[in-house]
Structure 1
Amino acid sequence: MSTRDGDGRGVAGGPVTDGRVADERVADERVRRWRLVLGGGEADGTGYGLQGQDGAMDGALTALYGKGDRAGRGRDRSAGLGASAPSVARWLGDIRTYFPSSVVQVMQRDAIDRLGLSALLLEPEMLEAVEADVHLVGTLLSLNKAMPETTKETARAVVRKVVDDLEKRLATRTRATLTGALDRSARINRPRHRDIDWNRTIAANLKNYLPEHRTVVPERLIGYGRASQSVKKDVILCIDQSGSMAASVVYASVFGAVLASMRSISTRLVVFDTAVVDLTDQLDDPVDVLFGTQLGGGTDINRALAYCQSQITRPADTVVVLISDLYEGGIRDEMLKRVAAMKASGVQFVTLLALSDEGAPAYDREHAAALAALDAPAFACTPDLFPEVMAAAIERRPLPIPDPDTPR
């Protein structure tokens, strides 16, 4: 233990202070992190060499992002994975060893986009090595038609794992939220005391306010409906299956299966590109729904809405949810007329530009504005917000649009 003088320095040439050691360690750590960020040979001017696990992490990053500056100013952007399945398998194992799951998923997506590794996902050993997430499912679905039979079972197992995880995360809250909304939407005029909806009862009886008693005389009681097993609402999910909507297709299929499990909601699931496919009879298994889609191709929203319109039998009790980026390849004016007609008949119409965690994608702003003029808001929705959006639509109250800057 060293002796210190009044200003904290070591006395008589003793060891450096603990404070200086700590400062040097902080500086070393800062240089180390910059070296990992910058990548590249010759330590990119940092003078810091990477050893052990740091060197392995740097190698995994360099194989994907190149040897130059990883912030985008690099000199050599070549990557080192090549098209070798064994080297890719080793790389996948490395990144799962050195990085958390959230980072692994980002790196996998980048590898597919930057290095053209989609073809390798058609090999079972590759699928067994990857970290499964929603985006990987979207990639697999886009490759579905090209997938050999030897790979399909492995691909289904990967998709099933992601779908099961999503159902566990989303199902309970969705059912609870929508059950409450359904019960509240079924109003009765002779409720028991515990079933009285006091907010609506007071609003309906404000004309009976007695100022001298500072009270409202409730001549008319409004109550929540008692839960029943009868179908109360019809929900139609109309999903654009163009390539940019991959994550939305995955989430919508899971929500469709959850809604279909509720006896008080009659759920129909329709997917479309230039053709329209009704996948309602497969809703008991969202994996079957997903493999029934065909990501990519054109978009004919008008045709899809025409089919949905033909399936509506109880307009006042129907919610139609269009999930699309609104790039219409069909007849624009007819599409808008159909939306207007459905709303005029009493249908609750909702347009989601995306149903995912990534926010709004590129979308047709002119069509979004035209829908806004019809009082049919178009906005991006996260999976966690979707139950609240559906509850608001069922109760015919304003939708919880998350961002005031999104188009309405």
Structure 2
Amino acid sequence: MSTPTEVQDLTAPEFTADPYTGFARLREQAPVTHVTMLGSPPVVLVTRYDDVRTVLTDPRFVNDPELAGGPGVRELILQKLGLDDDLAGYLIRNILTTDGAEHTRLRKLVSRAFTVKRVQALRPRVEEITARLLDDIAAAGRVDLVEAFSYPLPITVICELVGVPEAQRPQWHEWGRVLTSRDPERMSGVLRAAVDHTHALIDARRAEPADDLVSALIAAQEEDGDRLSDREMVTMIFALVIAGHETTAHLISNGVLALLTHPDQLAVLRAEPHRWPQAVNELMRTRGPVQFTQFRYPVEDVELGGVPIPAGTPVTAGLLAANHDPRAYERPDELDVRRETGRGEGHLGFGQGAHYCLGAALARQEGEVALRMLFERFGDLALAVPAREIPWMVQPGFSRVAELPVRTS
């Protein structure tokens, strides 16, 4: 077994051009190894299912490097991107990067908005938005499905839930694109604009409350001012809006491409439409948009895959590799919409443990509604270019198509 001494650059073409092959090689040849990305110092990447699940669920691994006495890799990356400490703090300290009582406090404030019951109540609105977008696609005949469908649906849903006015939603779409791509020339300006805008949104809702999550957070703050600061509210809104539409948008795009290039699986779903929820889980496993997690830090010396990892060492969990691990799945690289998952989802795409994706139920529902209604509406939906010509984003950590040209007839 390889030891974590051979540093792999995750910006190399073998990972950006064909991540499935690149990460499979690591999983089989060096399942615990050092990697670097975006100018980061070396961090440990684990790629086998059992090790990935350990990193996600073992309480010895935390998201806050200060708790482990180790270096903060995200801080170093953001510094290299030219962000000052105050501005970078809006991306570093949030519900996704805290642990223990602080994380529980923040999660409790918003978890009621994402319960299964609340998400089910949103379904008619999700279907209504989807139907309107499909009308527009029908009128156009040929579209880039990423911009015409995959993005507009989840950003509309999450913005309505949070309380972002309709006129401002295209701006959030652009901000999300820049912040997730980490464009060094635009990061500072975009983040400052987003911070200022979000503070203004909070001020507006404080003056005129509405039936949305921002107003609910303000009410919680006024009931107990020590529980939630305005800065925490801004970081919360960032995390919810950006994470709440970026990954779902690309799950939809990746799912459409997978089904159009696997017509036998699409035929199963047309004949057995009750399998759509099952299919979304399988698409999340095989074509999920997130390749690996943000950094975790062991608070004590641990061992993964037979390799010792000292306390404080930055570790990232390879979701893509684990979801294709033959030790966990039969025929792991095969898309099978009839695949039985037992009581669980059958994948690690939404994470596990304390930091399990807060919006997973909403993402699954949006993916199911979007894909089912799209393929029911357009029986002859097809790629407008050969599959090999579909452009992918060259972006470490993500498997996302940049464009998805389709025609409806």
TM-score category (smaller protein): under 0.3
Query: With structure 1 as the length reference, what TM-score do the two structures score?
Result: 0.24
Larger RCO, structures 1/2 (Cα 8 Å, 6+ apart): 2
Larger radius of gyration: 1
